[in-house]
Structure 1
């Protein structure tokens, strides 16, 4: 299983992650990402990887969980 996490200190609210993966990420009223759900479904894994790679602040991380 995989999980998306956001480093709130590193995040600069660019919003690219929410544009790439709106199924799992929304933005709050200040533009910071809010990740929905505990795990990333297999059907969205490729988009989750793209979203993490696209983060200019490297604040979004995709981590493998046990």
Structure 2
């Protein structure tokens, strides 16, 4: 499973790293980013929760 952040859509609210810090973080540009190549085992649910709760739908987890 992989996670993606659309930097053009992201508003930098910080919700995704607060839900799934093992997958997402806030980067120097003030927007969220993915910090792993593959979503770690056991983190799939939190990554999907971050995707579902992103206020601007900037996250894809597939």
Q: TM-score, with normalisation over the residues of structure 1?
A: 0.84
Q: Over aligned residues, Cα RMSD in angstroms?
A: 1.1
Equivalent pairs counted in the alignment come to: 62
Q: Which of the pair has more CA radius of gyration?
A: 1
Q: Hey, which of these two has a bigger chunk of strand by percent?
A: 1
What is the TM-score of this pair, normalised by structure 2? Answer: 0.89
Deviations 1:30-62 (A, max 9, x none): 431121111112210010110100100000110
- Which runs of 4 or more aligned residues in structure 1 lie more than 3 Å from their structure 2 counterparts after TM superposition? none
Partner of 2:31: 32
Gaps of 5+ in 2: none
